[in-house]
Structures are given as structure tokens and as C-alpha cells.
Structure 1
Amino acid sequence: MVLSKRVARFNRVATNQVLKHIAGWAPGFAIVVHKGRKSGREFRTPINVFRTKDGFVVALTYGPDADWVKNVLAAGRCTLVFRRKKVAVHGAELVHDESRQAMPVPIRQVLGLLDVHDFLLLKRD
């Protein structure tokens, strides 16, 4: 049960309006700066993100069909505003992992309850 489109719509209209002010510096959050694959317009989307050995991992709680995910995959790169710093990332890779191994243990458990098993891996430039 990936989060529903109704929840996504609410988050886009309400929650993201608050998160966009804190996601660039709050632990466990970042803002992904990406270009629209059709419009070429710049978008800024707050996300939950976790560090990996060579970059970052994002749990795709709305699934891999979210527009921001498609934009990042199409470009192959994006910028993260992570702890008040801009971090260029590349090599965007969609991963399906039932065991959620790339995530911290407590987060794995929450994602298991939500039945999330798709992730986006991003490597630092």
C-alpha cells in the first residue's frame, strides 16, 4: 500500500508548503531541485532522504510514478539541498528492494507497514 493519490494531493497542497521551509536543513529531509521533463521548468520538492556510502537513498512512498521521480530519472541527475548545502547528484537509479536494506532499521519497519519497497539511489558528484 504505497500512499494514495489523495494523500499525495493533500501533501502537495498543504504539507509541502510547510516542509519547503525546513526540508533544506532538517535531519532526514532534503529538497530535490529538478527540471520538468516536458516543461523544462525548475521544481523544488521536499523529500525524506538518507545518506549512503556514496550518496543518498530516497524511499518512494508514492511509488516510482511520482512526477519528481520521473523528472530525476529522465535527467539522470538533480541537486539536493541537504543540511543547508547544495549537493549535486547523478546516476539516479530506481531500485526495488523488499528487504529495504538501504534504509536505517527503524525506518525499514515504518516502510514495511506502508508496504514501500521502491527506492531511488543517487550518487554524489
Structure 2
Amino acid sequence: MVLPRTLAKLNRHVTNPILGRLAGKVPPMSMVVHKGRKSGRPYRTPVWAFESEGVYRIALTYGRDVDWVKNITAAGGFELETKGTVVLLVDPVVVHDASAAWAPVGVRQALKVMSATDYLQARAA
């Protein structure tokens, strides 16, 4: 079971503004910068991102059907603020991996407990 939508709403209005101050500066916290598919409005979504050889992976703890994932897959790319820099990422794709083998050990166990079996993968442009 991925995290419930009610928790997502709480995070959007309470937790994200607080974590947003750290995201992009303190690894593995990062900030996905994207635009709305219909509105074109800019959005910033804090995530945990992990990089290996120019490929970035982001755990989809709320599942694959969240707006920010739809926005960046429709756009074909997005910016990721991580470790104090901005990286342009392209070719985003949602991947299913029940083992979470891509994630560091501690994160892997947490993802398994949450049944977060999907992640978003994109490569640096």
C-alpha cells in the first residue's frame, strides 16, 4: 500500500513548505521543478532522489498516478535541484521494481514496508 492521498494533502500544505527549505541542498532530498500540463503553472515538489552514473531515480511513495509524475512524463523532462545544483533530466519513465534493488539499503527496506514498488527514472541531459 503506497501512502494515502490524505497524507499527500497534509504534506502538500504543511510538510512540503518546511522540507522545501532543505530539499535540493541536503542529499538525498531534492526538488522536482515542473509545470502543470494544462495550466502551465510552475510547481516544486520535494522528493528523495538517488543518482548513479548520470541516471536519477525517485521513489514514487504516493504511487505512479500523482500529478507531478504525469506533468513531467508528458513534458518529457524536468529540472531537479539536488546537492545545491540544478540538473536537467530527460526521458522520464516510470519503472516497476518490487525489490527496490536500485535504492540504498535503508531506503529499500522502507519502500518495501510501504509497498512503494514504482520509481521514476530519468537521465541527465
Q: Give the TM-score band, short-chain normalised.
A: over 0.9
Aligned residues: 125
Q: What does residue range 2-13 of structure 1 map to in structure 2 within 5 Å?
A: 2-13=2-13
- State the match for 2:47 in structure 1: 47
* 3-state SS in 1 of match to 2:123: strand
User: Unaligned regions of 5+ residues in structure 1, if any?
Assistant: none
TM-score normalised by length of structure 1:
0.97
Identity of aligned residues (%): 42
* 3-state SS in 1 of match to 2:86: strand
**1:94 partner letter:** V
Instruction: Output one character per residue of 1:75-99: Cα deviation in whole Å (capped at 9) or x when no partner.
Output: 1100011111110000101101111
Superposition RMSD on alpha carbons, in Å? 0.8
Farther off after superposition, 72-81 or 48-57: 48-57
**Distance in 1 (alpha carbons) for counterparts of 2:84 and 2:54:** 19
What's the CA shift for 1:102?
1.1
What's the CA shift for 1:53?
2.1
Contact 1:52–1:102 (Cα < 8 Å) also in 2: no
Instruction: Output one character per residue of 1:14-46: Cα deviation in whole Å (capped at 9) or x when no partner.
Output: 000101111010111111110111111111111
